[in-house]
Amino acid sequence: MVRRLFPRSIRARLTAVATLIAALVFTVTSAITLTTVPDNLRGVVQARVEVAVRRAASEARTGELSPALEPPTRVHLLEVVAADGRVVASSHSVPKGLQVTSLRPPKADTLYTAERTVYRSPDEAEGHYLIMALTVRTPHGPVTVYGASSLAEVDRALIWVYLLVFVGTPLVLVSVAGIAWVTVGSALRPVERIRTEMAEITGQDLSRRVPVPDTGDEITDLATTTNDTLDRLERSAETQRRFVADASHELRSPISALRAQLEVATAYPDETDWKVTGERALAAADRLTGIIEELLMLARLDAGAVPERRVVDLAHVAQEQVRRREGSPVPIVPNLCAAAPVFGSTLQLDRLLTNLLDNATRHAAGRIDLEVAVEGDKVVVTVTDDGEGIPPQDRERVFERFTRLESARVKDKEGSGLGLPLSREIAAAHGGSLTIADHSPGARFVAVLPLYGPP
């Protein structure tokens, strides 16, 4: 099992990442500080002493050296010593215990630098000095110019630098980790509330919704999308429950009728006309088969199943429908274009026309008009009957599954209420639509599908 480099918790991961980034930044910054700041601080002191030493050396070369030297600010000692050890010139104040003559430059006109620590009495602090020496030739012989400046301010500054680097950096990293932990926790708190609410939502109660924070950020969008999904899920679950209930009811009727017929025939075999009973049983079985086939096709459409598709000539399919219905009590008057190619399933498109024509046959009074036309990049199929029509307030309701208007129940007690919903689902699956247009008398169903190929 491979060990995880980071913890599973998002809060812990983000805290770790923020701390690591901060540690990297502070490490690089500290390294740069420790390599540059000490040299820069000493460089300032060294430049100050060097200027004083070279100025005194220049005066000694020209013989203009004064016995009493005035060192610049923060240069604590300036002294000129002859080759025999005699002090030729010196500043007024000399740091106690500081011996500079121990630094003997081996070459003339070359500046030498050293550091000295002066140990005083236990009651006094030790002194840390930067000493520079330069030997030059003068009219009276070679002399050595000494300059010294205290490094106490540099040492104090370096102490603060070391404290900031070695003590401040860990404290800052701990602070960064704490701030990241609290901030991420605060940001993820709405997510935890959403998770808790989602864990309590069950299939039996889909009415609950997750809380939507008013922060206006991505978590607000997540909560809003989650609630929208729950809305759709609730509607889908309600539709499914209603669908199952209606399907159970519709299937129960023919099964009950079939069972009653068979029970009567079995109870009174000698008085039963078995031919008639068989025909009625077959009719009930055919009705069950039709309902099951429509339910199966609806289930496949709901699941997004894509059957084998090819180019289908709707005009030819409509012509076959008219041919199969020759001799029907209600004649079909076709008005078909030469060709109306669409890309789709032959079985489903044939079922669409079958359902529309069956519905029109049940309600027509004298005739049915079937028209297939190409309009621009669309194929328009129109089925019109001359029956009682459909009220405007019911024109969408008839496309709900298992919905049957009162007039339909009176004319056809064997219907299932699935034909029109299935036809609309087929049209939608082929990128089209099925609607009811205004027409009087009767009803007019209009199916619009995309034309295959150029218009």
Location of structure tokens 């901030």: 183
- Where does 119-169 show beta strands of DSSP type E? 127-138, 141-150
Q: Which fold has domain 308-450?
A: Heat Shock Protein 90 (3.30.565)
What pLDDT does 407 receive? Answer: 60
Partners of 378 in beta bridges: 375, 450
| Euclidean distance between CA atoms 278 and 150, whole angstroms | 123
The region that residue 86 occupies, defined by phi over 0 for left and psi between -120 and 50 for alpha, beta otherwise, is beta
Pairing verdict, β 368-375 and 332-336:
parallel
Is residue 49 a contact partner of residue 133, using CB atoms and an 8 Å limit?
no
Enumerate residue ranges in the chain where pLDDT < 50. 1-2, 455
What's the burial of 427, exposed, middle or buried (CB within 10 Å: 0-12/13-18/19+)? buried
Cis peptide before 441 (omega within 30 of 0): yes
* Type of residue at 200: E
Query: How far lies 436's CA from each of 59, 417, 433, in Å?
Result: 114, 16, 10
Name the nearest CA neighbour of 435 among 444, 96, 145: 444
Scored b (16 or more CB within 10 A) or e, 13-46 reads ebbbebbeebbeebeeebeeeeeebbeebbeebb
Residue range 218-299, CATH number: 1.10.287.130
The confidence score (pLDDT) of residue 253 equals 66
pLDDT tens per residue, range 290-327: 777 777 776 766 666 667 788 999 999 999 989 988 88
User: Residue 143, CB half-sphere, CA atoms under 13 Å: how many?
Assistant: 26
- pLDDT at res. 125: 56
Nearest to 210 by CA among 238, 181, 183, 233: 233
Q: Are 107 and 135 in contact (CB under 8 A)?
A: yes
Contact 357, 323 (CB under 8 A): no
Query: What own/partner pairs with CB < 8 Å and gap ≥ 24 does 96-100 have?
Result: 96/120, 97/127, 98/127, 98/129, 98/148, 100/131, 100/133, 100/146, 100/148
CA–CA gap between residue 176 and residue 162 (Å, rounded):
20
Structure tokens at 392: 């405007």
Residue 445 near residue 434, CB atoms below 8 Å = yes
Residue type for position 169: T
Are β-strands 368-375 and 433-437 bridged in parallel, bridged antiparallel, or unpaired?
Answer: unpaired
Q: What is the pLDDT of residue 319?
A: 93
Q: Is 431:450 a contact under the CB 8 Å cutoff?
A: yes
For the sheet with 77-82, list strands across it: 68-69, 87-91, 77-82, 141-150, 127-138, 111-118
Q: What is the rounded CA–CA span in Å between residue 429 and residue 128?
A: 91
Find out if CATH 3.30.450 is the number for domain 12-157.
yes
Pairwise CA distance, residues 131 & 148, whole Å: 4
Half-sphere exposure of 142 (CA within 13 A, CB side): 14
Nearest of 43, 101, 111, 42 to residue 77 by alpha carbon: 101
- The DSSP code sequence of 215-226 is T-SHHHHHHHHH
The C-alpha atoms of residue 322 and residue 331 are separated, in whole angstroms, by 9
Q: Where are the domains of the chain?
A: 12-157, 218-299, 308-450
